[in-house]
Structure 1
Amino acid sequence: MARWKGRITLGTKRGVAAALLLLGACHPRPETSFDAQQPRTAAVRNIGNFSESLRCMDDLLAAHGKRDIYITTAGIPDATGLIAAGTKEMFISAVSRMAAKSGGFRFVDYDITQLDVQILSELVGLRQDFVAPSYYIRGAITQLDSNVLSSSQSAGISLARLDLGVSSDQVVSVISMDLNAARLVTRQILPGISASNSIAVVRSGRGADVGGLIGKAGVSFSVSLDKSEGFAQAVRNLVELSTIEVLGKLARVPYWECLSIEPTNPAFRTEARQWFDLMGPEERRRFTEAALLRTGYATNGGDITPAVARYQADHDLVPSGRVDFELYYRLLASDPDRARGTRPAAVPAAAVAEPIVPLPPAAVPAAPRLTLTTARGARPSFRVGDAMVVQARPTADAYLYCYYQDGTGEISRIHPNRFQPDALVPAGRDVAVPPASGAFAIRFDRPGQEQVACLAADREVGLLLPEALKRQDLEPLPVRSLDEIAARFRGMAGVRVEDARLPIEVTR
């Protein structure tokens, strides 16, 4: 590095002093010069036309108990090649606003087109902050029809000493977007979990007016667009609307309420009917019981038939006490604010137009039965250095939680885990722990007696577990025995639990 040598001469010093005097004359208070150069236009947050709808979705997800649905996307490209907009970031922003309080959705940022789950697991190892997403969203800007409609009007008048003329024109362009949801592990697109929306961008001829119109299920949304960036803002509105729709379908919540669409709209009744038909009797009962608890009509445990009948009578439904589609649709679209209220007063019998027909009490369903085994049977023996895979199979749909106790007595949760985040296991289906992808292994390093305990619950209890059991998977838990864990599961009111154990002998 070169260094200057020498000194400032008298003439140079005088020149510097003169320059300082001139600066002082231009700015009498030099210490304020930095403030004087600050930008005079304040930053403004970009607010889309569906910002309120995203906040409504946040409340809706919380009211329906939807939480920790892990998703990702590789982006929403422009298949037309004519619009430049950051659609992936728009999608992430929409998901963030939708889950700010509820935590309904968690976005995991990695490119599913470059890495599959097994390779990704090998790269990231067993990091505590990684959870593999269950679903991914794919889609594109699929259509841009510029100038699909163009109109022009003009008029003029000519006088002896004066000529007048006026003109106006209008240009309409159509932008379309399609989104779909798929399971990450199988890469299978989920039927019916999709959104397809179009916006008509209208530019008026005076050069100052830009507007937009989205049609959905017989309802039109008028949206405001910036006159200089009409297409980009139109795409943001499409992203927000499509995100509400596709994630609302994925979570099975009445998202149309957040779009101010009446629940009597036949398009959405048909959609809800499909959800109802896909549910089994036990899933319908669990949904109904949770909704009645939320609205204050039922308490934990016991027969819900009287609570169903009371709710039906209070909401102008036939008070049969049975779980039918009309009850499901009314509970699905129930006001989330009632979840924060108290139980409504019972309606006097005289006020009920149709008497409640007494029904025989329904038998309380038993807890899902559960079997555990390995490739070496239900009472396996292994040698030091061997690896083990546990196969669990419930007889009914169940939420499965498995814990492993090693020879030292240390206990950790092995299912669900960051590579198998979904606790729900369908009836009669085997689930392998660890998964076949080889994400992690259970390998024995010393002789002794070890054990695996799996608990099959008839409902999702992850949020109800005590804090001691909510630690990261594969990490030691502050409990003394597997019996203590089972006792805490059984201590949750209204939850039916099956406990299955797998004793393991490890020899040299």
Structure 2
Amino acid sequence: MPVQGARQALRRCALIAMAVALATLAGCAVPLDARRDAEYQSRASVMDRPVVRPVRSISSFSESLLCMDHMLRAAELPTTLIASKQLPDYSGKVPAATKEMIITSLSQMSRLSNAFRYVDYEVDIARQDTVQNLTTILLNNNQMQLQRPALYVSGAVAFVDQGVISNNLGLGTAASRLDTGYSRSRNATIIALEMHLGDFRTRTLIPGMDSANEVIVGGAGEGLDLAGRIGSYGVKFNVGRDYALGTGGALRTLVDLAMIELVGKWARVPYWQCLMLDQTNPNFQRQMQDWFEASGAQGQLRLVQSSLVHQGYLPPETQPLPINHPQLRDALSRFQADAGIVVTGVPDFPTYERALRNFVALNEDGSLQRIGWTSTGAITTAHSDTATPLANWPAPRPWMIDMQIENPQPATERAPFQQGEQVFLSATVSRASHLYCFFADAKGVVMRLLPNGMQTQTLVSANQAVRIPDWMSPNPGFILDAGNPGVESVMCVATAEDARPKLGGDLQEPALAPLKPSRTLDEIRQRFVAALGADRVVSQIMQWTVVPRRSQATSAAR
């Protein structure tokens, strides 16, 4: 009887629970009060944010693109207009914006050299956007003109062979109370990209201007299964770990490599020198990540700060600074801007990698080694007594200005300018700086060219060519024409800080007008040095000769 009574009690409890559930469901007919969830929902705008800072999209050849930019600059190639076809993937296995990757590669190879400008015009109606539609309207009404490209890029993802090699392993045990299982798998896929360079005028592919490369991406997985039974109840447990190399990053690597090959062959420069950098080692990023994690927060900070001192972003006598010190954050921000990474002002991994990547070399056995530092930050500075001297680090690139005449003619054959002929210059700083440029005519009259009413900002990033005048702008602000016969000059001054508040009123005269009182270029430079100090100012002067026009010279001879 006690057992039967217990069963009846359980039935009553079940009936009561069912009645409560029915009453609850009936209550669902009444709308919930959204105000009760206000506090819970208020967290949505915060939880929607990413928890990891964004990073620049890079490939194994990102540093090679910068190398190509310097190489094209040294070759003094005139700016070339280029376009690209859509690069299809007939396999449908690599969904990536390949054309945009091509544009980015060309842009990175033109940041300093101005070697290429991409003609952005889309004929596919399905891909046209607001800018394209407006362009078509203006073209049809003869209100704008498109310049014809000289070159175009063609190609496609040639093939994607999945599972070229594959390995699978599985085993397990079975018993009355416990079952176990273990599995492991590995695979590799090959992606091939073929690209060509064509002559736009004849719509023919140029013989020899081709690139065909392959890359291998792989994946692996490992899993463990457990299943047990206790009486009539069962328990299952599963754990696994997997990885898969991304096809998007692999394709970017192929595109960067192909564009370096095509541009190098076309420009006839030794592009292979840019493919031999240690940073192109496939394990470079992973090794740097291992060193980063082994350093710890303090080691990372010491190494990055030492690199900033070595590269001139911090003064040599700088004492170790805490991570939130304004001077350190400012130096980090300027370095990050120069390095082309996301500006955060903190020594994160992208900053660590960019700050130390030039202090890594390849051993004879193919492994990577550190030069002058250890993973824990052991390095000698002016106030450290650790074993490895800072002098053992590779010499940094000096802070300097690189000025060039951009008129399309080789420097070795550059003839004097004729009166009235337009002069094109460019100035590039090796480190983020404030830039000021002054012009002196043949009679010694000096005026300021930069900054001016159209270009009011003085701060420029490293390795970014500043055009004087900005001939690629529809409103350049001024035109620099050769004047009276004689020698003309342009001097550019780069400073570590904005010098305008510390300069006298006579140098605050409006741009593009003669300075009053008259000053020589050397006097102006000395004013900058007196205001900021010699170690915080660099300058360069570019001169050229002006001769009378040929028609004028002929008339005078007669």
TM-score (structure 1 length as normaliser): 0.41
TM-score (structure 2 length as normaliser): 0.38
Instruction: Kindly indicate which of the two structures has a greater share of residues assigned to helix.
Output: 2
